[in-house]
Amino acid sequence: MSKGSNPTNVQTSTQSEPSDFIRPYYQEAIDASQDLYQSALPNYFPNNTYVNTPAETQTALALATNRATAGNPLLNQSQTEAGKILSGDYLDPNSNPYAQALYNQMAGDVTSGVQSQFSNAGRLGSSANQETLARSLGNLSNEVYGDQYNRERQNMVNATQIAPQLGEMDYNDIQRLNQVGDTREGIEQVKLQDAISRFDYEQQKPYLKLNQYLGALGANVPQNTVSTQPYFRNTGAGLLGGAMAGSQIAGAMNSTNPLYALGGGLLGGFA
C-alpha cells in the first residue's frame, strides 16, 4: 500500500441460519402450516347456536294467541250492560220486575188499609174513599218508582265514568296478540341470524386461513382470533317475560392452536 492512500471501506452482511439441529423442526412447522392451510379446517360449529323453543313456551304462545283472539267474555258483557244503562233501559219501571213487585205488594197493603178505614166508617165506595185511595197509591208510586229512577240515574252517571275505560280495554287483547307476534318474530330472527353468520363465516374463511398461514411463515399480516358464541333471546320483553334478540356469532378458528403457535414462533425466529 502506498503512503498517503486511504483504506477502502468494506461492508459485509451476515445472515442468521438455523442450526442443523433445529432446522428439521422449522421444516416440520412449515409443512404443518401448509397442511392446515390446504385442509378444510377450521369448520363452523356444526349445530345450531340457539336452543329450540321449549314445549312449554310454544303452549303458552298458543294459549295466549287463542285468548287474545277470542277476547275477554267478561269485557263484552260489561260493555253490553254499560250500554243498556247509558241507553236508559232500566229507567222504565217495567224493566225492573223487583220494583214492580215491591210496588204491587205495598199497593195492596195501602189499599187494604184505606178500604178498611172507610169500611169501618160506613163510607166504603164513596168519592172520598176513591180520592183517598188514589192519592195514597200515587204517593206510594212516587216513593217507589222515584227512588228507583234516582238510583238508576246515578248508575248512568257511574257508567259514563267507566265507559271510556271499557272501550280502551279492547286494545288489551290486541296488545297481547302483538306481544305473541313479537316473541315468535324474535325466535325466527335468531334462526335467521344464525344462518347469516354461517354464510358470512364461509365467505371470510379463505382470507382468515391465508392470514394465518402467512403469519405462520413470518409475514407481517393481522392475526384474527374468532370464536363461536351462542345466541340468546331476551325473554324479559314479551308475554313470557318477552321480545327476542341475539348476541354475535363468529367462527371456529382460533390462533391459539398449538400448531399455529409453534409454526409462528419458530418461523419468526428463523426470519
Tell me which of 11-25, 55-69, 155-169, 179-193 is least confident: 11-25
Task: Please give the pLDDT value at position 234.
Answer: 63
Give me the mean pLDDT over the 246-264 stretch: 35
The secondary structure of the chain as a DSSP string is --TTPPPPP----------TTTHHHHHHHHHHHHHHHHSS-S---SS-SSPPPPHHHHHHHHHHHHHHHH--HHHHHHHHHHHHHHTTTTTSGGG-HHHHHHHHHHHHHHHHHHHHHHHHTT-TTSHHHHHHHHHHHHHHHHHHHHHHHHHHHHHHHHHHHHHHHHHHTHHHHHHHHHHHHHHHHHHHHHHHHHHHHHHHHHHHHHHHHHHHHHHHTT----------------GGGTTTT----------S--TT-HHHHHHHHHHHHH-
Task: Please give the pLDDT value at position 240.
Answer: 40
Residue 259 has pLDDT above 50, yes or no: no
Report in angstroms the alpha-carbon separations of 105 from 110, 158, 231.
9, 30, 76
Cβ–Cβ under 8 Å, residues 86 and 160: yes
Q: Residue written as cell 385442509?
A: 39
| 207 and 150 in a common domain | no
Q: Determine the Cα–Cα distance for residues 237 and 243; give it in Å rounded to an integer.
A: 4
| 186 and 112 in a common domain | no
Of 248, 228, 259, residue with least CA distance to 44: 228
Q: Determine the Cα–Cα distance for residues 92 and 157; give it in Å rounded to an integer.
A: 17
| 263 and 187 in a common domain | yes
Residue 35 has pLDDT above 70, yes or no: yes
Which carries the bigger pLDDT value, residue 176 or residue 100?
176
Give me the mean pLDDT over the 196-224 stretch: 79
| 211 and 133 in a common domain | no
Domain boundary among 115, 147, 168: 168
Q: Is residue 46 part of a domain?
A: yes
| 116 and 161 in a common domain | yes
Q: Is residue 1 part of a domain?
A: no
Name the pLDDT band for 141 (thresholds 50, 70, 90).
confident
Q: Determine the Cα–Cα distance for residues 25 and 265; give it in Å rounded to an integer.
A: 11
Would the CA dihedral through 125, 126, 129, 130 be positive or negative? positive
Q: Residue written as cell 294459549?
A: 63
Q: Is residue 97 part of a domain?
A: yes
Average pLDDT, whole number, for the chain? 73
Task: Please give the pLDDT value at position 235.
Answer: 56
Domain boundary among 168, 192, 220: 168
| 228 and 164 in a common domain | no
| 123 and 54 in a common domain | no
Number of structural domains the chain divides into:
2
Measured between its terminal Cα atoms, the distance across the chain in Å is: 41
For residue 222, which phi and psi values (nearest 5 degrees)?
Answer: -65, 140
Domain boundary among 149, 168, 187: 168
Q: Is residue 8 part of a domain?
A: no
* Cell (9 digits) for 262: 409453534
| 144 and 258 in a common domain | no
| 81 and 55 in a common domain | no
Task: Please give the pLDDT value at position 266.
Answer: 35
Q: Residue written as cell 358464541?
A: 229
Report in angstroms the alpha-carbon separations of 61 from 51, 57, 172, 242, 245.
17, 6, 16, 11, 18
| 114 and 147 in a common domain | yes
| 140 and 81 in a common domain | yes
Q: Is residue 182 part of a domain?
A: yes
| 184 and 62 in a common domain | yes
Give me the mean pLDDT over the 212-240 stretch: 64
The domain of 119 spans 73-168
Q: In this predicted model, what pLDDT tens digit does every residue of 172-181 receive, in sequence order?
A: 888 888 888 8
Q: Is residue 229 part of a domain?
A: yes
* Cell (9 digits) for 266: 419458530
Q: Is residue 48 part of a domain?
A: yes
Task: Please give the pLDDT value at position 242.
Answer: 35
Q: Is residue 3 part of a domain?
A: no
Task: Please give the pLDDT value at position 16.
Answer: 67
